[in-house]
Amino acid sequence: MKHKGFVLWFTGLSGSGKSTLANEIYKKLKVNGTKIEKLDGDVVRENLTKDLGFSPEDRDENIRRIGFVSNLLSKNGVAVLASFISPYIHQRKDLRAKVENYIEVFVNASLEVCEARDVKGLYKKARTGEIPLFTGITDPYEAPDNSDIELRTDELSVDECVNQIINYLKKKGFIFFD
């Protein structure tokens, strides 16, 4: 199937469901012949941004690099699923200005729900001081005020969220399949 390249940028707190949704969208698009790449925080940090820490400046540089790669892929007809907390409004504003066919997906769940879903124990470590500058606890998460799609993953099922994204992509002419 022919399609335009685009970047679905999943933003939200750790545990909100960004990777879960990206994985499901990936499967759905891949099976329908979409040229697609998935960029996830842990994998990118290990391979592309290993030299960066978690200071606000390093977080900005991390997002800038990922945005650059995402834009290159999008301009070459690839659908990109980027799952990154991207906690600051200015980061996402810069992405919107620089990344071709940028679609911001705010994966929204309460902090309490995100903490309850935390299988790695990161929130607990942040609350005890083991992890400094942890988004949502000791570092802010600035919620989007103009996302293209907002999904309340603490209220909707994964399937309902996936359907909303697929419907958006179809409506905007990014994908063409039933």
Burial class (CB in 10 A: 0-12, 13-18, 19+), 159: exposed
Phi first, then psi: what are they for 128, rounded to 5°? -90, 0
- Integer CA distances (angstroms), 114 to 6, 56, 123, in order: 28, 22, 9
HSE at residue 137, side-chain half, CA atoms within 13 A, is 18
Nearest to 129 by CA among 138, 119, 140, 120: 138
The answer to whether 66 touches 78, Cβ cutoff 8 Å, is: no
What element of type H or E holds 152? strand 149-152
Annotation marks residue 157 as catalytic: no
Tokens representing 92? 């996402």
What value, to the nearest 5°, has the Cα angle with vertex 48 and ends 43 and 49?
A: 95
Catalytic residue among 19, 70, 86, 147: 86
Backbone Cα Rg of the chain: 16
Q: Supply the residues annotated as catalytic.
A: 86
